[in-house]
Structure 1
Amino acid sequence: MQKTRIIFWGLFLILSALSLLSGQVTRPEDLSFPPLKFEPPNPADFRVVLANGLRAYIKEDRALPIVNLTAIIHTGSLYLPKEKAGLDSLLSDCLIKGGTKTRTGAVIEERIDFLGGTLSFSVGERTSTLSLSVLSKDLDEGLDLFFDVLMNPEFREDSLKLAKGRLIEQMRAANDNPSLVLAREYQKVLYGEHPLTYQASKATVESLISSDLKAFHGRYFFPKNIILAAAGDFSREQLKSKINRYASKWANKPLSFPAISKSFPQPEPGVYFIQQKINQGYVSVGHLGIEDTNPDYFAVQVMNFILGGGSFTSRITSKVRSDEGLAYNTGSRFTYRWGFPGTFAGYVQTKSETVGYAISLILKEFERVRQELVTEAEMETAINYYLESFADFFQSPIGTMVNFANLELQGKPLNYYATFRDKIKAVTREKVLEVAKKYIQPDKMV
């Protein structure tokens, strides 16, 4: 027993001495670490121009035997005339399901399923995206299906008929969702009669035919109006060669977009009420916002985080939800849209009998942030949020390439991410007060 103790204490003393000699600390609170430093990748390192002017951002990533490819097309619902409202939704549904000149939609979907991959398409306001994900061993067949759908859609009548039925049912169901109704009507009030607010009706959907979809596709789907993003298990040079085989056979066309007004009538300030048989009130109170190219964009982001965008740390959420217990869903937001001002709103979902009181609390917070400097602690929390979440822009290789493609498509500087953190850190309490006074406008509230 005595011998065991001697050995134990001898080992203890040796280890302690080694610890001291190596400079190791003996208490957790004495530990120190060098600061983490993350530099965003440079878009120029991934950009290439392929046959017929098809631009692409390509990154090799051998972590998994998977290839992801996305085509971002500069077109969307904004470029539809009012009488064609709904064509964007039908295009989303039918580009794949409607088949191509040589394949039915069922064959395309069966092959993608057999490969264990995915192929999807969606139409947004000003951009549309076709995305492919396949195992790297199946890349050749995946590319063939991807470019066949992108270049040669047929929009067969049987698929179009089914898509119309689905869309009309979705439109009916949308009126049963108070949140969707509020968002739709709030935008109508702020933007007025404008392509940003055109809504499909049963009549416009039923009037659309296959040739309408083909004409829209033909007007915008060609190499110079598309940017590709690719990431995965491939050789960069080999992928460029494979894509060029398709792009070289794909002719460009003259490109023009309809003129869209950027002028919006100021709505009459007041209360706009939508009657529904529900026991809660869904409220948005605000006005038009700014574009994300505005020089004050970063200061507005910090200001709104403090006001109502920062979840439980924000003033509106703390007051309306935590202090008063009036709502689970409340806050404020600035939305952004490419080329047009977005919207600003304080929002709340609360019991019908407390709607008025909840609105009054939100308006008081609007006024407070316009009248007094935010605290140092609020500034630190807001700025740290944006700095610490910065790496989220680069969570996945394909997401990073898509982000770079969107920068170019929207005409933003390619050093956007390189300067992002410095612009956030440059925001001061005084600047927050300045932008709050400038961009929260009580006399324009609806």
Structure 2
Amino acid sequence: MKRSIIIMMSFLINVNGGAGYKKEVLKNGLKVLAYEKTKLPMVVCIYSFKIGSIHDPKGKEGLVNLLVSMLEKGTEKRTYTQIGEEFAILGTRFSYDVSRTFSTLGITTLSENLEKSLEILSDIIYNPTFPKEEFEKEKERLINEIISNKSEPDYVSEILFTKYICKDHPLGHLPEGDENSLKNINLEDIKEFYKKYFVPENAICVIVGPQSPDELIDFVKKYFEKEKKGENLPWFRLPPPISGINVKIFHMNINQSYITMGHFGPLRKSPDFNAARVMNYIFGGGGFSSRLFEEIRNKRGYAYSVGSGFLIIDPYPSLYTFGLQTKIENTNDAIRVIFEEINKIKREIKDKEIEDTKSYFKGYLPRITETYYQIATNLLTQELYELPEFFWEKEIKEIENLKKDEIIEAARKYLDPQNILIIIVTDTSKYKW
């Protein structure tokens, strides 16, 4: 275990008409971001570990997801049932999530019930007992859920795309793992991993409420400043880029083809990310107004829906995917159209497309911080992805000032039809590439 030097830092600034914001690192290494929002008597607190499925031990994929789902299953003070009952009495909403690079546990509660709710959340995070009976039930539930999901072609397509784009990299599986890898996980694996890595130095706490930032941080200190040492998280190499046009075809007894195409894309903190997101909106991310929707849905009637987007996994490159479901006989032509549209947007974008896209983001970005939960999640995004303070405010101006050549350059940089993965899940007895 490495020794760490804790540097205390804090600063307070005023934003959004007087709302306070403060960031502080506690004595135990926990980073805290506190934001004052006075409209309603409610508080959102999100506790995030910088631990995701990328940290799953090889052969035991799904361990982090299983571990996080077990945290609420019993503590030194409470049973799983008691935790649920106490949150229900308080009217507190509890949730958790596991992604590829981080995990979150959060509560939304009334201000008057904040301290009691934080005490329960702290108990869940710091004092889990991982009861064996609950472990076996939760593992079985997750295994059955994965087996059930594998009857869905879009889920199978997601598994396959992740596997083949990342190859043998630790990012090459979904957070829930696989039914076989889950069977390899025992209770001691969970306890040992929790002890090593689920410590404050590997975590961020964001809290948003009507109290002042100092008061909010004092609440966090009271319930989360417990000293707990562990190990630094391992760092993994970047996944290798895909080389050439890779086509993978898989059989299912279905009457359509499920197509997922793509490659790696920009980092969220890349200087040209906003140019890339504007380009993507025009290409396929803009729903009814996108080029892919117009060409594949409106003109040809090949699919009910088609789109593209970035799956952000900083500090690793995003996954840039585009896909659709279509009749088997239309599969190859739909793929051909996507290639054509990739090549077109790398050459020319219309002024009207840029104007409409900028108008969309001008209306959309201010709305992503309207609620307490939205503010909390965006502050967490800011910290996890090393973005500027209140990045959403700056991005409105950045997008407004983008020039056409910057957007076309983003298309040329991040759309690569010569190095791309194509996953086709279909009835192979009726389809030929």
Q: Does 1:330 align with 2:281?
A: no
Match of 2:9 in 1: none
Between 386-395 and 375-384, report the one with greater CA deviation.
Answer: 386-395
- Normalized per residue, which structure has more strand? 2
Q: How far apart in 1 are the matches of 2:303 and 2:400?
A: 33
**Which residue, out of 261, 270, 273, partners 1:285?**
261
**Which residue, out of 168, 174, 188, partners 1:211?**
188
Q: Does 1:57 align with 2:33?
A: yes
Is the CA contact (8 Å cut-off) linking 1:122 and 1:128 kept in structure 2? yes
Match of 2:207 in 1: 230
User: Is the partner of 1:442 in helix, strand or coil?
Assistant: coil
Match of 1:410 in 2: 385
Q: Does 1:247 align with 2:217?
A: no
Is the CA contact (8 Å cut-off) linking 1:50 and 1:247 kept in structure 2? no
Q: How far apart in 1 are the matches of 2:80 and 2:223?
A: 20
**Which residue, out of 305, 319, 323, partners 1:343?**
319
Is the CA contact (8 Å cut-off) linking 1:190 and 1:267 kept in structure 2? no
Q: How far apart in 1 are the matches of 2:385 and 2:321?
A: 25
User: Is the partner of 2:314 in helix, strand or coil?
Assistant: coil
Q: How far apart in 2 are the matches of 1:43 and 1:296?
A: 30
Amino acid at match of 1:411: E
**Which residue, out of 63, 67, 74, partners 2:50?**
74
User: Is the partner of 1:374 in helix, strand or coil?
Assistant: coil
Match of 2:329 in 1: 353
Q: How far apart in 2 are the matches of 1:297 and 1:235?
A: 33
User: Is the partner of 1:143 in helix, strand or coil?
Assistant: helix
Superposition map of 1:8-407 within 5 A: 45-97=21-73, 99-198=74-173, 200-234=177-211, 236-248=213-225, 250-264=226-240, 266-371=242-347, 373-407=348-382
Residues 199-229 of structure 1: CA distance to partner in whole angstroms, max 9, x if unpaired? 6343432232222222222223333322222
State the 1:415 CA deviation. Answer: 5.2
Q: How far apart in 2 are the matches of 1:296 and 1:289?
A: 11
Q: How far apart in 2 are the matches of 1:436 and 1:362?
A: 14
Match of 2:424 in 1: none
Between 256-265 and 197-206, report the one with greater CA deviation.
Answer: 197-206
Match of 1:420 in 2: 395
Residues 1:387 and 1:173: Cα distance change in structure 2 (over 3 Å): same
Match of 1:28 in 2: none
Amino acid at match of 1:116: G
Amino acid at match of 1:227: I
Q: How far apart in 2 are the matches of 1:369 and 1:421?
A: 23
Is the CA contact (8 Å cut-off) linking 1:100 and 1:152 kept in structure 2? yes
State the 1:41 CA deviation. Answer: 7.7
State the 1:265 CA deviation. Answer: 5.3
Q: How far apart in 2 are the matches of 1:403 and 1:176?
A: 34
Q: How far apart in 2 are the matches of 1:366 and 1:353?
A: 22
Report how many residues are paired.
Answer: 405
User: Is the partner of 2:338 in helix, strand or coil?
Assistant: helix
Give the root-mean-square deviation of aligned CA atoms: 2.3
Q: How far apart in 2 are the matches of 1:223 and 1:416?
A: 25
Q: How far apart in 2 are the matches of 1:222 and 1:180?
A: 33
Q: How far apart in 2 are the matches of 1:353 and 1:319?
A: 17
Q: How far apart in 1 are the matches of 2:71 and 2:200?
A: 17
State the 1:389 CA deviation. Answer: 0.8
Is the CA contact (8 Å cut-off) linking 2:346 and 2:408 kept in structure 1? yes
For the pair shown, which has the larger CA radius of gyration, 1 or 2?
1
